[in-house]
């Protein structure tokens, strides 16, 4: 029967533990990240409709547009304010297309109004700020009414608060579990090396010389475990994108890449710190304590 040699290191079991632990962290982090990205996408589609008084001149409409584009709450993308104008005639055509009825002919007039549609910055998605925006705009000459989906915005804000609290709590608990799990795995692995560490001490090796190979191996295992976890998560994400085509539209590859880098970094740091603590412990033990 084959027996373990003195100083043999259970590298495979440690690598599996590291990979599994980091995969669990990454899986939850991906869920939280996509929830955040979905909320951001919903926020970007929230609009304020500024309905205008009837019979305004083109010059007045242009002045209103310029004023809206310069407001601090108006979102700007690529130096272009997100303000759209829809004429009452275009709105009537769209409504007739959607309903299949020519209400203009039935009524004899077009009851709709010209409207500016504004996308606002995320920091203004607060009830008090939105109320102030509406009051300011409705006090503007030429503006008839300001409308936005107040219930939807409140619901999104509530969901953001709930997701944030849930993520913060779960991340805290999960990180504690992962740190304890990886720390235990590294310490158990180094337990098999305790006699080798003492032998190196007895021949006069310095503490740094003894620690160096163990720290290097731990860092490498943390890196490799993180890389394997990211590969598994990337494969899972690829399959989900194949099944749910709409998922790609809300994804930020920069954020996902940053998450994967964070997982690898976390694996290296935890494994390094665990190996450093364990080697120090065995270096300070007496011969009786080693047995």
Quickly count: other Cβ atoms within 10 Å of residue 173's Cβ.
10
Check whether residue 189 and residue 160 sit in a common domain. Answer: yes
**Averaged pLDDT for residues 27-53:** 81
Domain stop point among 124, 148, 172: 148
Give the highest mean pLDDT range of 148-152, 176-180, 238-242: 238-242
Q: Check residue 230 and give its pLDDT.
A: 94
Check whether residue 130 and residue 200 sit in a common domain. Answer: no
Percent of the chain with pLDDT over 70: 85
Query: Is 3 domain-assigned?
Result: no
Check whether residue 193 and residue 67 sit in a common domain. Answer: no
Domain stop point among 148, 163, 198: 148
* Cα separation values, 131 from 74, 122, 211, 250, 283, Å: 15, 15, 62, 29, 66
**Averaged pLDDT for residues 125-147:** 87
Check whether residue 195 and residue 269 sit in a common domain. Answer: yes
Q: How many domains does the chain have?
A: 2
Domain stop point among 148, 174, 205: 148
- Specify whether the CB–CB gap between 231 and 260 falls below 8 A: no
pLDDT of 2 strictly over 50: no
Question: Which residues constitute the domain of residue 213?
Answer: 11-41+155-290
Please write the tens of the pLDDT for every residue from 245-290.
777 777 788 888 999 999 999 889 988 888 888 777 766 655 555 5
Among 127-131, 163-167, 204-208, 278-282, which stretch is predicted with the lowest mean pLDDT?
204-208
3-state SS string over the chain? Answer: CCCCCCCCCCHHHHHHHHHHHHHHHHHHHHHHHHHHHHHHHHHHCCEEEEEECCCCCHHHHHHHHHHHHCCCCECEECCEECEEEECHHHHHHHHHHHHCCCHHHHHCCCCCCCEEEEEECHHHCCHHHHHHHHHHHHCCCCEEEEECCHHHHHHHHHHHHHHHHHHHHHHHHHHHHHHHHHHHHHHHHHHCCHHHHHHHHHCCCCHHHHHHHHHHHHHHHHHHHHHHHHHHHHHHHHHHHHHCHHHHHHCCHHHHHHHHHHHHHHHHHHHHHHHHHHHHHHHHCCHHHHC
- The confidence band for 223, taking pLDDT boundaries of 50, 70 and 90, is very high
Quickly count: other Cβ atoms within 10 Å of residue 264's Cβ.
20
Check whether residue 196 and residue 275 sit in a common domain. Answer: yes
**Averaged pLDDT for residues 201-216:** 74
Please write the tens of the pLDDT for every residue from 59-107.
988 999 999 988 888 888 888 888 898 888 887 787 777 777 776 666 6
CATH code of residue 54: 3.30.70.3040
Please write the tens of the pLDDT for every residue from 105-135.
666 677 788 899 998 887 888 788 888 888 9
Q: Check residue 188 and give its pLDDT.
A: 73
Check whether residue 59 and residue 193 sit in a common domain. Answer: no
Check whether residue 278 and residue 179 sit in a common domain. Answer: yes
Check whether residue 171 and residue 234 sit in a common domain. Answer: yes
**Averaged pLDDT for residues 145-173:** 77
Check whether residue 128 and residue 192 sit in a common domain. Answer: no
Check whether residue 131 and residue 238 sit in a common domain. Answer: no
Q: Check residue 286 and give its pLDDT.
A: 53
């Amino acid at each position: 029967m084959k027996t373990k040699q003195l100083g043999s290191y259970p590298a495979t079991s440690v690598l599996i533990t590291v990979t599994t632990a980091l995969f669990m962290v990454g899986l939850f982090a991906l869920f939280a990240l996509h929830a955040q990205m979905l909320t951001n996408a919903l926020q970007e589609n929230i609009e304020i409709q500024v309905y205008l008084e009837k019979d305004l001149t083109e010059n007045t409409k242009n002045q209103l547009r310029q004023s809206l584009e310069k407001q601090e709450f108006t979102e700007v993308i690529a130096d272009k304010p997100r303000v759209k104008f829809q004429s009452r005639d275009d709105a009537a055509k769209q409504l007739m297309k959607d309903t299949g009825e020519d209400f203009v002919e039935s009524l004899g007039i077009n009851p709709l109004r010209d409207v500016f549609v504004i996308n606002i910055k995320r920091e203004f998605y607060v009830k008090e700020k939105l109320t102030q925006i509406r009051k300011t705009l409705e006090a503007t000459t030429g503006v008839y009414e300001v409308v936005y989906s107040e219930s939807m915005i409140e619901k999104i804000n509530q969901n953001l608060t709930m997701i944030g609290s849930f993520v913060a709590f779960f991340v805290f608990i999960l990180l504690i579990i992962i740190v304890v799990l990886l720390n235990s795995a590294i310490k158990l692995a180094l337990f098999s090396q305790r006699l080798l560490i003492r032998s190196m001490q007895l021949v006069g090796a310095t503490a740094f010389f003894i620690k160096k190979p163990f720290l290097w191996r731990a860092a490498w295992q943390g890196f490799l475990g993180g890389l394997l976890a990211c590969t598994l998560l990337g494969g899972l994400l690829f399959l989900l994108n194949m099944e749910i085509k709409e998922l790609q539209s809300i994804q930020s590859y920069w954020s996902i890449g940053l998450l994967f880098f964070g997982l690898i970094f976390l694996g290296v740091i935890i494994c390094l710190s665990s190996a450093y603590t364990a080697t120090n412990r065995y270096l300070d033990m007496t011969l009786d304590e080693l047995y």
